[in-house]
Structure 1
Amino acid sequence: MEVLNSLSAKEIRSIRKAVENDFERYRFYQLIECKPVPALPEGEEEMRDFCSRIEGAVSRLPAQERFLIQQRYLNVMEYDYIRDQQIYSELFDPPISAATYSKIRTRALNKLAAILGVSLKGVVNGAKEKI
């Protein structure tokens, strides 16, 4: 976590974008998981492993951070329709402010970057690389 504090805002945004890209891949895998692809049996195993890694990482977060990530990024069916404002004003009980929501999301994404091993070197060079 201290490493993230020493990075520039641009570098931190790049790392967070890489984590968000992992969430997008997770949602895609969850959507196609029901339809086996006979030509790629090992691909299915890789998809399951990837989804398990994401779910395991998210499950390690504190309750508020886990709830936010699950609602905002892992909700496969509602992802395209749910907005941050809905989450902090309607889904959190009691509702929280936009600033508090932003702080919780930032902490959660930083922790997930560390847990998932997203390295800055790979992100800055244009391709995400795991440590």
Structure 2
Amino acid sequence: MSVKDELVELDHKNTQVVIEEVFKKYQFFKSTTFEEPEANIASSVCDEINSNVFDPEARRSFCEKVERAVDKIYAKEKFLVTERYMKDNHVTDIRMYTDVMPMSRDTYAKIRRSAFYSLAFNLSYFKIIDINELIVANCEKR
């Protein structure tokens, strides 16, 4: 049995969509703050809306888990992910592989795919995503 036979195959497109959604949430949490609602505003409707997105501790915990997941991937992948998805400068893929990390588009895509593969497992470990939804065999059953 080869090593490749032991690795789980993830659906690349679904994985990319899910990981990019995590980074959108990360960016949102990092770029906004929420104050505790004033007593006169806090109604039952506000209580229902006041889910994790408004809970500063949950937001901090989410961002910390994402950062820890990214810290565990290889240096080149980490640089790509950090520059492209975690900073607030909104760098495009084209700018990434022409200016920030000069390389071919195919090489860039290969590094990003590898980073997202590792991140999928890391983010699953931190219970941010469900890896089972990304496994090829499970995606085909839907």
Q: With structure 1 as the length reference, what TM-score do the two structures score?
A: 0.75
The 5 A counterparts of 1:40-51 are 43-51=55-63
Question: Which position in structure 1 is the counterpart of 2:107?
Answer: 100
Q: With structure 2 as the length reference, what TM-score do the two structures score?
A: 0.70
Q: Deviations over 1:9-48 (max 9, x none)?
A: xx3311221111010000000011xx34213697110000
Given that 2:14 and 2:134 are in contact with CA atoms closer than 8 Å, whether structure 1 keeps it comes out as yes
Question: Which position in structure 2 is the counterpart of 1:28?
Answer: 28
Q: Take 1:26 and 1:89, find their aligned partners in 2: how far apart are those partners?
A: 25
Question: Which position in structure 2 is the counterpart of 1:37?
Answer: 35
RMSD of Structure 2 on Structure 1 (CA): 2.3
- The structure with the largest alpha-carbon Rg is 2
AA paired with 2:92? R
Question: Which position in structure 1 is the counterpart of 2:65?
Answer: 53
- 2:90 matches 1:84: no
Question: Which position in structure 2 is the counterpart of 1:15?
Answer: 15
Q: Take 2:28 and 2:110, find their aligned partners in 1: how far apart are those partners?
A: 27
Q: Tell me the CA shift for residue 120 of structure 1.
A: 4.9
> Unpaired segments of 5 or more residues in structure 2?
1-5, 38-49, 136-142
AA paired with 2:105? A
Question: Which position in structure 2 is the counterpart of 1:119?
Answer: 130
Given that 2:12 and 2:113 are in contact with CA atoms closer than 8 Å, whether structure 1 keeps it comes out as no
> Unpaired segments of 5 or more residues in structure 1?
125-131
Fraction of identical pairs, as percent: 29
